[in-house]
Amino acid sequence: MSCLAATFSIISNKHYQLDTVTNYRLSASRLDFDQRTYTCFLKRLGKHYFCSLSNFALPFLGHPEIFPLVFTEKTQEILNCRINEDITEEKPYKLLKKEDIIQDMKTRAAVSDFHPVKKIVLEYPGEELLIVLDTEFKYGQNFYLVATEEAKESFLNPPEAVEEEGETKEGMTEEYIYKAPVRKPWVSLGSEKEIEEESVNESLRKIKYMISRVRREFGSKVKFTDRNASSVKDGYIECTSYQDKNFSIKKLEKDVGAQVVPKVKEMSTQTKWTYPRNAATQYFPREFSDEEKELCLSSEELKEFIISVVEIALQQNEIMNAFFDDWKALAEDESAFGGKSDAYLKEYQSFTDLHYLKHRRVSCVCWHPTIYGIIAVSVTERLSYEERITQSGKLLLQKSPILFWSFSDPIHPQLMLECPEEVYCFEFCPSDPNIIAGGCMNGQVVLWDISEYEEKLQNAKTGAGGSKNTPTFIQAQQSGKEPHFVRYCAVSSIEYGHKSVITDIHWLPDYFEVNRMGIAFENRAGVCVQLVTCSPDCSILFWDLRAPKTTIQNSTEKAKDEKTIEAPPDVPTTFKHLDLSWRPLIKVLYIMYNLMQYQTKPEMFGDENPYKQLRFPSAKPLKILENITTNFFVGTEDGEVIYSDWKMERDSDSGRLISQKPANKYTIHDGIVHTIQRSPFFKDIILSVGGWNFAIWKEGVTSGPILQSCCSSKRYTVGHWSLSRPGVFFIGREDGHIDIWDLLEKTHEPSQTQNISISMITCIRPWIVSSKQHFLAISDDFGTLHILEISWTLSHPSSNERASVLHYFEREVKHLDYFEQRQEFRAKERKELELETQRKKTVSCVQEVETLVLLRFVFSCALHIILLGVCYTQHCYYHWQ
C-alpha cells in the first residue's frame, strides 16, 4: 500500500497527466500500470518538478518553476485560451507566444494578468510559454505558468515506462487472491492487569440513613407559599464556600491510554460533464409616442397627483434632510473612540495624607463647582459607636478638617476647613461656591466662607506663584508652609438641632423658599437661602441663613450685645448673626437616614458677597408657587423607603404644627439605606441603595419599585447616577469593587465590575470637566481618594439613549400594573374558591343532618310497629284463654 498526494490516470499513448491534489489513500495494485513504470515516473517527476516528494503539496516551496496566475475572461478572449472551448480537461494546456504576452502587458500595463510575472516573461529564453489549466486549484489559481524549458518539455513529452526483468508479460493482469484471516488463541501480555490496576474500586464503607415519618402524616396535603427573603429578618443567609483545614485531599495522577483505528472505505463515482452554452437575448424599452405624451401631460389625473403628492413631498424635503443616512445613525461609530471593551475606569490620580487621614475614613466628597481640579473631602475616625463613646475625650483634641486637594499637587492639601466636630457630610452652595454648609457628628450645622481664599485655589489649579519648571508640590516642600486653616463662620445651636449625626445635607434651589408651614413661596433674593438636613434621630430640619427679624432694644442692651459678640480677626462675619443661636425653621419628625438630592446649576456672582446683605423679606406677601412639589423620598436605618410631604398641619386638639403621616412606606432593603438620589435626566426616577440590593422608583407609582435587583454577594455602600448617560449608574461595595450598571445592556447583573480599593467604598461623585473628559471621584475606608477617568463608552450616550431608557421605565411601570391586576384577580379567584369550598361543606353537612333525621324517623316507626305487634299478640292470647 502506498500513500500519495495525487491521483494519476494513464492515457492510451502512456502519457501521464497530473489530475488532482487532494489527499487520498490509493493502492499501487489498483493503478492501471505496473510498479516499475510507476517508480520511474515518480523519479522523473521528482527530478523535474519537486525538490522532494514530501513537498508535493506545497506549490510555492516545492515548485520554483510554476507560478499560479488568475486569467480573467478578458485575458482568455485576448489570448484565445477560453476554458472549455480553447482549453479543456482532455487538453488542459496551451502554448502562448512570448510576443503576444509582451504586447498584452504593454497595452494593459498593470491591469494585465501577466503583470505579476513580468520579469519572468521577459527573461524567458524560449519563444513560446506554456500555460496549464488548474481545474482543481492545485496551486491556488485557475491557471499556472511553466517558467522553464525543461519543465515545459517534461510536461509535453513525459517519459515512457521501462519494463524490468521478472515482471509479468504485457497484456496479462495479476489476479488478487483473498486469504481469510486465521483464528489464533488469545495470548495474554499483561494488559488485563493494567486495566485492573487503573480501575476505580469502592474502598469506603457506605453510610446508611433511615428517614421516618409519623403514620398519620402519610398522604397529608402540603401547602407551599412564596415569600420575599428580604421581607423577613434573617430570611437571607449567605452560605459561601470555604477551605476546610481538617482535610487535605491530594489528587492522584493517572496514565490512561486509548487506541482508535478509523475504518477505511473505498468509494468511487462517475458523472457526465455537461458543457455550458452561451445564450443571449435583446430587448428595447417601450416609449410613448408624441401624441401619448401630450395626452398624458395634459390629463387631469397628473395634475391632481402633482397637487396632492408632489407638493407634500417638497414640504417634507424642506422639513427633514432627505439625504440623511438612517443606517449609519442606527448605531454610533465606536471604531474611533472604542467599543464595549473600553467600558472601564482608568486611574487618573489619587490623594492621601499620612497626618490628617491616618486611621480615618473619607465620609463625603464634593467637587468645586467652578474651579477645575479642586476637590474637597471630609474625614471621620474609623471607630464604632462604643469606641467613639470610650474615646470621646480624645476625639475633642484631634482635628478632623475638610481638606481641599488640587490636581497640580497630589501630596499637600491646598486648604483646610476647621470643624468644631467631625463632619459627616457637606455641600457647596449652588449660588455662591465660596459658601459651604456641613453636618457634624453631634448634630450641628456648620457654615464656612472661603471668599478670601478663592484666588489661592485658582492659582493652585494653574500652578502659578513659583518657577515655571518647578512643580507646585516641590515648591511647597521647599517653602515648608502648612496649608491655611479656615475657621467656620457659624455653627447651629446644639440644643435645638439634631440629636444624632447629620447623614445628609442639601441646599434648596434659589427660585423658591419655604415658610414655617412648609409652603413654597417665590425667592426674591435670587440666591439659595435655605437648606435641609436629616439624621437618624427621626427628624428632618429646614434651616434659613437670613438674619432673624430684629426686635426693639434699648441702647444699653444693644451696646452690651455689640461688646460681647466679637469675632476673631481671621473669621469672616458673613454669618455672625447665626453663630450658636441658629435654630431650624421647620422640624419634620420621621424615621429616616438619607434624603433625596436636588439638582441645581451653580451661578457666579461678582466680588460682592450676596449673603452679607440677606434679610427676611418685607411685609409684602410673597407669591405662592403651586408648581413646586413638597414631596420627598427618605431612607431609614431599617431598610425602609418612605415617601411623604414636608408640609405641616395643625393638630385639631392642641393647635400645634405637626408633621403629616407618610403617604407610602416600603420595606425593600435588608440594611441601612445609604443613598437616595434623583436621576439628573428624569426628575421622577429615584435610585435607592442599601443593604444587599438597590431599587429604582418612579414618583407617582405607589405599588413599589419598578426595578429591584437581586441580592449581591457583597453589601452595597453607596451609589450615584451618571451625569452624562441616562441609563448608567455606579454602585460601590464593601469589598472595594465598583459595579457599573447599564440598563440598556443588562438589567439582571452589572455590565462590568472593577476593583478600585482593598477597603470599603464610602463615597462616589462624578464630574464633567468637558465634553471629552469625565471624572469619577471614589473614596475608601482607608482615607484614600481615587480620581478615575471615565471611558468614552460610559460617558457619551447614543443618539436615542434617553428615549430608550424612558421607554424602558414606562414598560416596567406597565408590567408592575399588570402584576397588580393579576394579584387582585388571583386573590378574587382564591376567595371565590374558598367560598365554593365552604358552600360544599355546608351542603354536605345539611345532607348528613337530613339523613340522620330520616334514619331516626324510620327507626321510631319500626319501633312503633314492633310495639303494636307485641300488644296485638298479647290481646289475642288473652282472648284465646
Query: How far are the Cα atoms of 519, 522, 622, 636 from residue 625, in angstroms, in the given order?
Result: 8, 6, 9, 30
Average of per-residue pLDDT across 118-134? 85
Residue 877: pLDDT band with limits 50, 70, 90? low
Q: End-to-end CA distance of the chain, in Å?
A: 134
Residue 7: pLDDT band with limits 50, 70, 90? very low
Residue 439: pLDDT band with limits 50, 70, 90? very high
Q: Which of 141, 156, 171 is the last residue of a domain?
A: 156
Strand pairing of 484-486 and 415-417? parallel
Q: Grid coordinates representing 679?
A: 436621576
Q: Which of 481-485, 717-721, 857-861 has the lowest mean pLDDT?
A: 481-485
Question: Is the predicted pLDDT of residue 550 greater than 60, yes or no?
Answer: no
Structure confidence at residue 404 (pLDDT): 92
Compute CA 155 distance to the chain's CA centroid, rounded to the nearest angstrom. Answer: 65
Domain hosting 649: range is: 632-702
Question: Is the predicted pLDDT of residue 727 greater than 60, yes or no?
Answer: yes
> For 432, which DSSP code?
-
How many domains, the chain? 2
Q: Which of 498-507, 531-540, 639-648, 864-873 has the lowest mean pLDDT?
A: 864-873
Q: Which of 214-218, 257-261, 699-703 has the lowest mean pLDDT?
A: 257-261
Q: Grid coordinates representing 572?
A: 469672616
Answer left, alpha or beta for residue 423, where phi above 0 means left and psi between -120 and 50 means alpha.
beta
Average of per-residue pLDDT across 253-265? 74
Residue 212: pLDDT band with limits 50, 70, 90? confident
Q: Which of 16-30, 335-349, 447-461 has the lowest mean pLDDT?
A: 16-30
Average of per-residue pLDDT across 821-844? 88
Residue 722: pLDDT band with limits 50, 70, 90? very high
Q: Grid coordinates representing 488?
A: 467656620
Confirm whether 856 is domain-assigned: no
Please give the mean pLDDT across all residues of the chain: 77
Question: Is the predicted pLDDT of residue 873 greater than 80, yes or no?
Answer: no
Question: How far, in Å, CA of 421 to CA of 535, rounded?
Answer: 16
Structure confidence at residue 282 (pLDDT): 67
Q: Which of 702, 721, 752 is the last residue of a domain?
A: 702
Higher pLDDT, 393 or 832: 832
Whether 750 contacts 741, CB under 8 Å = yes
> How many C-beta neighbours within 10 Å does residue 828 have?
10
Percentage, residues of the chain above pLDDT 90 = 13
Question: Is the predicted pLDDT of residue 654 greater than 80, yes or no?
Answer: no
What is the SS3 assignment for 102? Answer: helix
Question: How far, in Å, CA of 298 to CA of 290, rounded?
Answer: 12
Q: Which of 640, 764, 637, 627 is nearest to 697 (CA)?
A: 640
The C-alpha angle 772, 778, 782, rounded to 5 degrees, equals 150
Confirm whether 878 is domain-assigned: no
Question: Is the predicted pLDDT of residue 284 greater than 80, yes or no?
Answer: no
Whether 75 contacts 113, CB under 8 Å = yes
One DSSP character per residue, 750-770 reads: -SEEEE--SS-EEEEEEEEEE
Structure confidence at residue 648 (pLDDT): 79
Confirm whether 879 is domain-assigned: no
Structure confidence at residue 140 (pLDDT): 79
Q: Which of 120-124, 153-157, 269-273 has the lowest mean pLDDT?
A: 269-273
Q: Which of 32-36, 75-79, 116-120 has the lowest mean pLDDT?
A: 32-36
Grid look-up 440513613 returns 209
Question: How far, in Å, CA of 328 to CA of 569, rounded?
Answer: 65
Grid look-up 378574587 returns 828
Q: Give every CB contact of residue 161 below 8 A, 6+ residues apart in sequence.
A: 14, 33, 34, 36, 37, 38, 40, 41
Secondary structure in 3-state letters for 341-368: HHCCEEEEEEECCCCCCCCEEEEEEEEC
Please tell me which of 231-245, 326-340, 754-768 the model is most confident about, judged by mean pLDDT. 754-768
Q: What totals of helices (H) and strands (E) does the chain contain, helices first?
A: 18, 41
Structure confidence at residue 40 (pLDDT): 40
Question: For the whole prediction, is pTM greater than 0.75?
Answer: no
Question: How far, in Å, CA of 94 to CA of 107, rounded?
Answer: 22
Whether 121 contacts 101, CB under 8 Å = yes
Structure confidence at residue 157 (pLDDT): 81
Question: How far, in Å, CA of 528 to CA of 531, rounded?
Answer: 8
Average of per-residue pLDDT across 146-154? 83
Q: Grid coordinates representing 876?
A: 289475642
List pLDDT tens digits, range 378-415: 998 888 777 777 777 777 777 788 999 998 888 888 88
Burial bucket for residue 791 (CB in 10 Å: 0-12, 13-18, 19+):
middle
Confirm whether 677 is domain-assigned: yes
Confirm whether 548 is domain-assigned: no
322 sits in which H/E element: none
Confirm whether 125 is domain-assigned: yes
Question: Is the predicted pLDDT of residue 463 greater than 60, yes or no?
Answer: no
Confirm whether 497 is domain-assigned: no
Question: Is the predicted pLDDT of residue 427 greater than 90, yes or no?
Answer: yes
Grid look-up 457659624 returns 490
Higher pLDDT, 114 or 461: 114
Strand pairing of 360-367 and 374-381? antiparallel
Q: Grid coordinates representing 796?
A: 457619551
Confirm whether 644 is domain-assigned: yes
Q: Which of 516-525, 621-630, 715-724, 783-792 has the lowest mean pLDDT?
A: 621-630
Strand segments (E) across 660-760:
664-667, 673-678, 685-690, 693-698, 707-708, 716-721, 728-733, 737-742, 752-755
Q: Which of 137, 156, 175 is the last residue of a domain?
A: 156
Q: Which of 59-63, 412-416, 449-453, 525-529 has the lowest mean pLDDT?
A: 59-63
Whether 672 contacts 685, CB under 8 Å = no
Question: Is the predicted pLDDT of residue 606 greater than 50, yes or no?
Answer: no
